[in-house]
Amino acid sequence: MITARPFYYLRHGETDWNREGRMQGSADIPLNETGMAQAERARDLLKGIEISRIVCSPLQRARQTAEIVNRELQLPITYIDNLREAHFGVQEGTMMGDWFHQWRLGADIEEAEPCDVFIERSRRAINQAIEGGEGTPLIVAHGAVYWAVKRYCRVFDDVPLPNSVPVFHEPIGRRNLPWRAKFLEEAQTETIPV
């Protein structure tokens, strides 16, 4: 379960590996110029919104995105190690392929974090971010970390999370109902691997 409090989620901006279709996982890849521009657009979208703090993955692409957004917001940034992307083991840096779909179904990949362990780690980290203070946090992390939100908040099941488009999440009434989730801007983007 995800703690029933509102939050914003922002996937990091584009990297060269995103552009090439390579699986980044825990590799610490920086934003490219497009990614920096995407983070600046997200900063503009978040301007004037009541956000109390930023909670971020420690990986460079998420940190850079949070720092660019924070030029406008001027908020404290907390880093949570468990908001890191999944570790894909020997497949990091390779193209998405059948191995990835098998991994999501529970197959073991050499040196990789098991998918179910990763989803649970992500869920706990998201709750830690939400519960880490008063007000509404902005969580800056990764595409696959967002799978925990999709699973436990039941939102956007078939919609890939675009780079640097903020999404607002709000619980609705009873626990078994899907949450309300809204992109702050409808993005027309191609699907980019995590």
Active site residues: 12, 85
Going by their DSSP bridges, the two strands 167-170 and 7-11 should be labelled as antiparallel
Pull the structure tokens for residue 132: 């880490």
Structure tokens at 193: 């691997």
**Residue 7 · residue 135 · CB < 8 Å:** no
- For residues 166 and 43, what is the distance between their CA atoms, to the nearest angstrom? 9
Q: Using CA atoms, how far apart are residues 38 and 108, in angstroms rounded to an integer? A: 34
**Adjacency order of strands within the sheet including 180-183:** 77-79, 53-56, 137-141, 7-11, 167-170, 180-183
